[in-house]
């Protein structure tokens, strides 16, 4: 099949750019130094490619991702980097044949994990992002409670997500160092072999932070949000649309809000300027004359929710479609 034959909107991955992204990251963080985050793609076939690049540990955001990864046979160490007290989901993760570790930040999450068969945890520490995480000075006592409940406390994790888009690199590095000092202090009280943190925006800023593994995900595919950061990764995922209407200085393609993650703003269009998106449409000003039936290549602003909106990704090289990867970890 040719790219021009795909029904649109179609999620496509440029396999050569994708392969280069995996190689670039593996050079910086080989093997277990990287725990790729599958929330960025929700695709076991893509995770298998990351495993082929040398990474066998994976980060997940939802119990469904953990269970799907476990049943797929990809990965030998799965982390739910998120809190849950859902008994059925905890049991489903505990019953997998692959080791599962969960994040805990309260006595309630500790008790739920222990009561439903989970054996291992990381203490999730608040390092500045007001989301999940125990305060650093309470991490040690929570670890004690987790061990008393029968859990193996493997270490700590903390996500400096509030720093991923700090524009000036030296400022970003300094603020990451400050954030990770909180995580190191917590780790001194908690113990364990793992200090887990980081993301695509800070992937190369942890040489001296004490972090043992980096949880990057978006690097494999990228989006316009991370594309502004000057990172050494290429745009590898696009949503292909068909031009369905042409006006005086503008064109409309069939890629709208229901095909794109919009929380980081408008997408970009190759060879044009986006005006706005609506449910099923993107209106843009093309650099050159557009015609009905032509194709538009849309670059998502946020890759993670964009991937979750599609049933499959088409793997392309040049104009040829060479494979189809189901987005099999989407949904709940």
C-alpha pair distances (Å), 145 with each of 105, 134, 183, 189: 11, 13, 19, 13
Which domains occur in the chain, in start order?
3-11+232-326 (2.40.37.20), 16-219 (3.20.20.10)
Distance CA 94, CA 116 (A): 7
pTM: 0.96
Q: How many CB atoms lie within 10 A of CB 27?
A: 10
User: Is there a contact between 82 and 111 (Cβ–Cβ < 8 Å)?
Assistant: no
Residue appearing with tokens 């690049």? 53
User: Tens-digit pLDDT profile for the chain (332 aa)?
Assistant: 999 999 999 999 999 999 999 999 999 999 999 999 999 999 999 999 999 999 999 999 999 999 999 999 999 999 999 999 999 999 999 999 999 999 999 999 999 999 999 999 999 999 999 999 999 999 999 999 999 999 999 999 999 999 999 999 999 999 999 999 999 999 999 999 999 999 999 999 999 999 999 999 999 999 999 999 999 999 999 999 999 999 999 999 999 999 999 999 999 999 999 999 999 999 999 999 999 999 999 999 999 999 999 999 999 999 999 999 999 999 98
Could you give the angle at which helices 87-94 and 63-72 cross, rounded to 10 degrees?
20
Of the candidates 301, 153, 157, 119, the residue with the CA atom closest to the CA atom of residue 227: 301
User: Is there a contact between 233 and 24 (Cβ–Cβ < 8 Å)?
Assistant: yes
Q: How many CB atoms lie within 10 A of CB 153?
A: 23
């Amino acid at each position: 099949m040719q790219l021009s034959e795909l029904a649109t909107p179609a999620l496509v991955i440029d396999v050569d750019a994708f392969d280069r992204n995996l190689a670039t990251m593996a050079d910086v963080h080989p093997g277990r130094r990287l725990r790729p985050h599958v929330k960025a793609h929700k695709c076991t076939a893509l995770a298998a490619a990351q495993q082929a690049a040398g990474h066998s540990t994976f980060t997940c955001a939802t119990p469904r991702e953990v269970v799907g990864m476990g049943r797929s046979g990809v990965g030998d160490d799965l982390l739910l980097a998120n809190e849950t007290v859902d008994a059925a989901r905890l049991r489903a993760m505990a019953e997998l044949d692959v080791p599962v570790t969960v994040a805990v930040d309260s006595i309630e999450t500790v008790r739920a994990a222990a009561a439903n068969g989970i054996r291992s945890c990381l203490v999730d520490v608040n390092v500045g992002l007001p989301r999940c995480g125990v305060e650093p000075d309470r991490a040690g006592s929570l670890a004690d409670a987790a061990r008393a409940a029968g859990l193996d406390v493997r270490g700590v994790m903390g996500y400096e997500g509030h720093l991923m888009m700090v524009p000036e690199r030296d400022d970003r590095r300094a603020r990451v160092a400050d954030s990770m000092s909180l995580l190191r202090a917590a780790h001194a009280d908690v113990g364990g072999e793992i200090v887990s943190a980081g993301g695509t925006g800070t992937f190369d800023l942890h040489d001296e932070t004490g972090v043992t593994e980096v949880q990057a995900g978006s690097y494999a595919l990228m989006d316009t949000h991370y594309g502004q950061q000057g990172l050494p990764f290429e745009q590898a995922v696009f949503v292909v649309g068909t031009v369905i209407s042409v006006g005086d200085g503008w064109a409309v393609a069939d890629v709208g809000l229901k095909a794109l993650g919009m929380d980081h703003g408008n997408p970009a269009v190759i060879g044009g300027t986006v005006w706005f998106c609506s449910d099923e449409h993107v209106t843009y000003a093309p650099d050159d004359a557009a015609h009905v039936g032509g194709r538009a290549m849309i670059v998502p602003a946020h890759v993670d929710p964009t991937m979750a909106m599609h049933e499959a990704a088409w793997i392309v090289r040049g104009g040829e479609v060479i494979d189809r990867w189901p987005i099999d970890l989407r949904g709940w």
